[in-house]
């Protein structure tokens, strides 16, 4: 497990790198990757051989520190660990890096930064022209701070083969703007998987109320928001009998302010998305989106049917304890919450966040933009093609080495209490949403959605449309200028 770094460590790290860079001149000593092949091994897994030798180059990574800022505990850093320790996920990350180092003849090092410090490191590196990092993994919403200001390379220009199985195609489709792509999600990282929202359900509460098995609802396309509300109404109870629903009572559905975009994404809709030409479109004016938001706000504003922890200034730990105490049947939280439920006595299961109606093709899964990370390459990197090749190989190794422990061990036998829940996780992971409107918060639109306290959706959207489109045009101008 990555140890907490002293405050001075980042500065020592950068000074050491700057010193070493002056001698190496950072020339690309690798051969061309044109001969790289992906062929299956005897088990059908892809085998990727780029045929490169970087002669001992130190490849330096920086990523967002969820352990410090979001109190993620028990989760190894997904990019670098110090040593094997017998914990399967930790050891798979270590072996992934060791295999990459051997295959490409490099040495991988890295640091985890808090939010503001990481942004400063990238910006200062670009401003000074210092080649002190080779790849960066900021949290998703930070992308809006870096794009449009010439801080990041367009990944389209660096030889990435986006068709490889270890790249998340939805991230590429959703984040490609005006023909340019500044970030993507790959199997190299798992923080975005752990940041994906799902529905936890309390199996003891379900049994106490003699509720039917929920899993067939998913298989038959009947797991919808209306069905969740219908079931949840059977559970909600004014336990203390004071005729007020508050934190002392029992609820069918529990979440937080983010439920607005979480449920919108579960309906396979985005605030903004690129069209086939990469032009960003504001989507909330459509009738489908309007109807969805009306339904969501109707639930969100009903204190009897929906518990919002932030209304009562409760922490996420308080909300999980409420679930542990059998006072919430359905709890909508990121997958990472599994690591906070280790001591829960009652069994629980996992479902996707429900569809908005049965005609919907896919279960959309919101990704928390304040904890999930993306792969980016700052323009201060002197050999971006080398960085692209290392990222590609690490992602390939993750696909073969890290994914199985993540899915089957950590998210399967170790933490989840039944055999079907891992399949539910696959549904969420396969349908992750990367919403440009949520990330960029054009004209404050995502904040407006989250803080809205009435169901007059049409008026809200009408008041925001011109401002949002104006903000989108400013981004377009900065990228096309």
pLDDT, tens digit, for every residue of 369-398?
A: 999 999 999 999 999 999 999 999 999 999
- pLDDT (mean) for 293-312: 92
- pLDDT (mean) for 131-139: 94
Give residue 423's pLDDT. 87
**At residue 273, does pLDDT exceed 50?**
yes
pLDDT category, 130, cuts 50, 70, 90?
confident
Give residue 38's pLDDT. 55
Give residue 275's pLDDT. 95
Give residue 5's pLDDT. 32
Give residue 3's pLDDT. 31
Strand partners, 47: 39
Distance CA 239, CA 179 (A): 56
**At residue 31, does pLDDT exceed 50?**
no
Give residue 12's pLDDT. 35
Give residue 174's pLDDT. 96
Q: To the nearest whole percent, how much of the chain has pLDDT over 70?
A: 89
**At residue 39, does pLDDT exceed 80?**
no
CATH 3.40.1190.20 fits 9-194+370-401, yes or no: no
Least confident piece of the model among 26-40, 165-179, 414-428:
26-40
**At residue 407, does pLDDT exceed 70?**
yes
pLDDT, tens digit, for every residue of 84-104?
A: 999 999 999 999 999 999 999
Give residue 45's pLDDT. 59
Domain positions in the chain: 9-194+370-401, 197-366+443-480
Give residue 358's pLDDT. 93
Give residue 18's pLDDT. 35
Average pLDDT along the chain: 87
Give residue 331's pLDDT. 97
**At residue 34, does pLDDT exceed 60?**
no
Give residue 402's pLDDT. 94
Give residue 464's pLDDT. 93
pLDDT category, 413, cuts 50, 70, 90?
low
**Can you give the pTM of this predicted structure?**
0.88
Q: To the nearest whole percent, how much of the chain has pLDDT over 90?
A: 68
197-366+443-480, CATH topology level: D-Maltodextrin-Binding Protein; domain 2 (3.40.190)
**At residue 354, does pLDDT exceed 80?**
yes
User: Which of 296, 289, 294, 259 lies closest to 273 in space, CA to CA?
Assistant: 289
**At residue 136, does pLDDT exceed 90?**
yes
Give residue 421's pLDDT. 81
């Amino acid at each position: 497990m990555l140890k907490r770094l002293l405050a001075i460590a980042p500065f020592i790290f950068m000074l050491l790198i700057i010193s070493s860079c002056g001698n190496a001149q950072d020339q690309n000593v690798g051969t061309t990757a044109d001969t790289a092949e992906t062929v299956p091994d005897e088990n059908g897994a892809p085998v990727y051989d780029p045929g490169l030798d970087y002669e001992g180059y130190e490849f330096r990574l920086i990523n967002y520190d969820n352990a410090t800022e979001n109190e993620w505990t028990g989760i190894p850093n997904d990019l670098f660990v110090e040593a094997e320790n017998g914990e399967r996920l930790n050891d798979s990350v270590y072996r992934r890096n060791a295999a990459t180092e051997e295959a490409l003849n490099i040495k991988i090092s890295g640091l985890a930064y808090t939010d503001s410090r990481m942004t400063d490191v990238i910006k200062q590196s670009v401003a000074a022209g210092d080649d002190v990092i080779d790849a960066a993994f900021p949290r998703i919403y930070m992308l809006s701070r870096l794009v449009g200001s010439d801080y990041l390379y367009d990944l389209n220009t660096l030889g990435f083969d986006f068709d490889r199985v270890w790249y998340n195609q939805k991230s590429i489709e959703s984040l490609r703007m005006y023909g340019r792509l500044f970030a993507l999600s790959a199997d190299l990282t798992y923080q975005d998987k752990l940041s994906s929202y799902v529905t936890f359900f309390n199996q003891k509460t379900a049994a106490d109320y003699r509720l039917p098995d929920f899993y067939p609802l998913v298989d038959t396309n009947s797991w919808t928001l209306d069905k969740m509300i219908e079931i949840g109404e059977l559970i909600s109870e004014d336990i203390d009998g004071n005729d007020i629903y508050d934190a002392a009572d029992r609820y069918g559905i529990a979440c937080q302010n983010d439920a607005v975009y979480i449920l919108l994404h579960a309906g396979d809709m985005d605030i903004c998305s690129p069209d086939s030409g990469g032009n960003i479109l504001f989507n909330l004016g459509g009738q489908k989106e309007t109807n969805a938001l009306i339904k969501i706000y109707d639930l969100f504003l009903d204190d009897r049917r929906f518990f919002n922890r932030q209304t009562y200034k409760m922490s996420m730990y308080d909300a999980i304890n409420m679930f542990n105490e059998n006072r919430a049947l359905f709890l909508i939280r990121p997958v990472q919450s599994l690591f906070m439920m280790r001591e829960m006595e009652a069994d629980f299961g996992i479902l996707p966040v429900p569809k908005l109606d049965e005609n919907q093709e896919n279960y959309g899964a919101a990704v928390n933009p304040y904890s999930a990370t993306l792969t980016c390459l700052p323009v201060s990197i002197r050999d971006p093609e080398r960085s692209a090749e290392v990222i590609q190989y690490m992602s390939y190794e993750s696909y073969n080495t890290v994914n199985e422990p993540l899915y089957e061990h950590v998210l399967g036998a170790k933490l989840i209490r039944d055999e079907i829940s891992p399949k539910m996780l696959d549904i969420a992971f396969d349908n992750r949403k990367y919403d440009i409107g949520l990330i960029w918060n054009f004209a404050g639109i995502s904040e407006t959605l989250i803080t809205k306290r009435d169901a007059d959706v049409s008026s809200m959207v009408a008041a925001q449309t011109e401002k949002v489109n104006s903000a989108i045009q400013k981004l377009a101008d900065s990228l096309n200028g």
